[in-house]
Structure 1
Amino acid sequence: LPVLAQRPAPLQVTWLGFPGSSGAPFIDYFIGDRVTTPLAHAAHYTEQIAQLDGCYQPNDAARPLPPCPSRAELGLPDDAVVLCCFNQTYKLSPNMLNLWARILADAPRTVLWMLAWNPHAKQNLLRELAARGVAPGRVFFAAKLDLASHIARLRSADLFLDTWPCNAHTTASEALWAGVPVLTVPGPTFASRVAASLVTAVGLPDLACASEADYVELATALANEPDTLRGIKAHLDANRRQLPLFDAERLARDMDALLTRMHERHLAGLAPRALEAAAQ
């Protein structure tokens, strides 16, 4: 930011990095998309919103997709519906644990699978979930692994339970690449709307729930209707390499067109203004 404050470029744009406004008057545009940065939220940005036609997050179809290990190898029960959340523990809140406990209570065949970021977090989570009526035998933890191994094991999960106000970001796109649906509730901030953008970009906008009650209801329904859940997973598996989320060439074209619009306004002597995505 100290360099950008000197205005080394006639147009200055922020994309990726911090998931929110810079608050800096010398940044002209903030690149997002229809879901993460609706124009109705413009008052919360010092920059002008510039929307890509598709999801703002860059992904591609070149990432690994290794064979899935068996659930026995992962220490998971074969006959359970595996609900997972591999978000960092700072994204978990007492409210999220309350919601998950309700889902586990209403869907008795489910187990919860999380990442063991450190021993203290693991013990704290077990204690807090037990206080909410979740037996320790229904909670499983996974060690940190390299990306390829992580994606391989992710394929054993049935449904990814997102968090808010800070969503899964790259963690969610990894789950979708692995064929695991992501259930989320979009909030009022960029960081709380990322997962909704991702599921929209894989053709599953209904997984972005309107409320916490809807989140619990849909998670419970999917867990109790494994055929429906398998159908959603089959959609991700069958269309993985054709889905807009993983189409890097499409994103490059969208970005080129958006930057061109910014530049043309500048050449015409016009001040930066909000640039809305093309109608779909």
Structure 2
Amino acid sequence: MDAETPVLDNHMHLDPDAARGMDAVEDFVRLGGTHLLVVNKPSWHLGVESTDPEDFRSVFETTIDIVADASELLPGRAWPILGAHPGLINRLIEDRGCSPAEARECMQGVLDIAAEYVERGDALALKSGRPHYDVDDAVWDASNDVMKHAFELGADLDCVVQLHTEASEDLTEIAEWAEERGLGRQQVVKHYASGRLAGPTPSVMCKKEWLETAAENGEPFLMETDYVDDPDRPGAVMGPKTVPRRVRWLREKGYDDAIETAHVETPKRVYGIDTRGTLG
């Protein structure tokens, strides 16, 4: 790998206690990785089972701390992305006895707190979305309301909202919801995207066929592993070495422009971050 080539994993989770943590970061660096966007783990994985949004601050503080540790190891740096995993709505309803409306209010409150960290400059972006599995209409509608609230916050803060949603190659409606609230569709990032997506900016999972599709399209895209840092699933979803390995593969295939797009141009355009300028 060229030492001057930034290599960004756009969606990774890190656990400071229960899993590999900094060992995963070291694996990423060893293969040529330089920059990370670290998304807070689902709150229940960090021991928070609450209906009080204030209790979620510990999730965010833990994420910010581990990002600081990761930045010490990286040739570039890491940034935190904070918010409410869309699966939280089912935890609140099924385990905590909330109605869909109560769950919606809790999750919107969690996003309000996450937005405080973005406003202070302690986090880069917000995380939201809706379930990728079947839910009833009331839960679906409440989840969409949570996501729309995230867009309102993103517009106020001029920050990205990174989404966890169902698999789709057309999320134009979601992009339009963001634009109606003042957030540009390029600042809506679809986590776990395939190589083709209408609407938001795709964060493409590192399957070779998906990356080749994205590279051939010539449109802005990012790359990710969705590494979950779970001791029960040590390589899931993809291991921390995957993005640098796929960058090498893209280089071998002659997709130099796509590497520049995914690791320099799109991060700058979407998040306002300078991956080349923060190397070294």
Q: TM-score, normalised by structure 2?
A: 0.29
The answer to which structure, 1 or 2, has the higher relative contact order (CA under 8 A, 6+ apart) is 1
Bigger radius of gyration among the two: 1
